[in-house]
Amino acid sequence: MQSLEKNLIVALRYATAAVHESIEQLPIMLRIMSLSVTRADYCHYLLVLRELYTPLEAALYTAIDRDTQLRLGVRPKLPALLADLNEQAAMNTDEIFSVTTDVMHSTIVIKNINDLVGSLYVLEGATLGGRTIARHLRRVLNNELGSARFLDFHGEQTSAVWKQFAGALDELCAEQRLKPDAVIAGALTTFDDLYQQLARCN
């Protein structure tokens, strides 16, 4: 078996598999992956994620230093999400945009680089699933989906970006800047926090 230092991304996947599975089973996720999903469901989903991503990315991108950000190849997803919401609003200005999501309160605290990288793993990994969701929505909603900049954030670059992220994790571990167990704990905390918030917004 490989040590955590050699393949942190694999350890992260194993450690978070159960909570990922639980998130996929939440009503809001089952709705977005259903064959009867509507454009209103898609807009609601974006609005909910906007509430989650706004405080979380603000905390992460305030804490990260430029060198670590470049090495991990990460950047905020919120601008893409807001652009998708604007695009949807331009298509139709009905009550879809009056949804309130004020029940959400993140409890995430970024104490150190391990928490930071653990959280970034969750948001970066979500772009892998995002591609799957985008493909499904394209099939059902067709042109109504619009550009899906957020869900298909890295597009054709998805696997290259993920490889860079995984490689950087192992380098940072080898340089002893990261403690694998603490990164895993940070990822689990973030996943749990997102789970709680997503469970409340149905």
Residues lying near ligand HEM in the complex (CB under 6 A) = 9, 12-13, 20, 23-24, 29, 32-33, 121-122, 125-126, 128-129, 132-133, 194
Q: State CA 58 to chain mean position distance.
A: 14
Which residue lies nearer to ligand HEM by CB, 148 or 194?
194
CB of 71 to ligand HEM, least distance (A): 18
How many residues can be counted in the chain? 202
Cβ distance 174 to 106 under 8 Å?
no
CB of 80 to ligand HEM, least distance (A): 15
Which residue lies nearer to ligand HEM by CB, 83 or 128?
128
Which residue lies nearer to ligand HEM by CB, 89 or 160?
160
CB of 118 to ligand HEM, least distance (A): 10
Which residue lies nearer to ligand HEM by CB, 64 or 122?
122
Per-position DSSP letters for the chain, written without gaps between them: ---TTT-HHHHHHHHHHHHHHHHHTSHHHHHHTSTT--HHHHHHHHHHHHHHHHHHHHHHHHH--HHHHHHHT---SHHHHHHHHHHHHHH--SGGGG---TT--------SHHHHHHHHHHHHHHHHHHHHHHHHHHHHHGGGGTT-TTTTTTGGGHHHHHHHHHHHHHHHHHTTS--HHHHHHHHHHHHHHHHHHHHHT-
CB of 22 to ligand HEM, least distance (A): 10
The vertex-90 CA angle with 88 and 92, nearest 5°, equals: 75
Which residue lies nearer to ligand HEM by CB, 16 or 88?
16
CB of 55 to ligand HEM, least distance (A): 14
Which residue lies nearer to ligand HEM by CB, 92 or 103?
103
CB of 154 to ligand HEM, least distance (A): 11
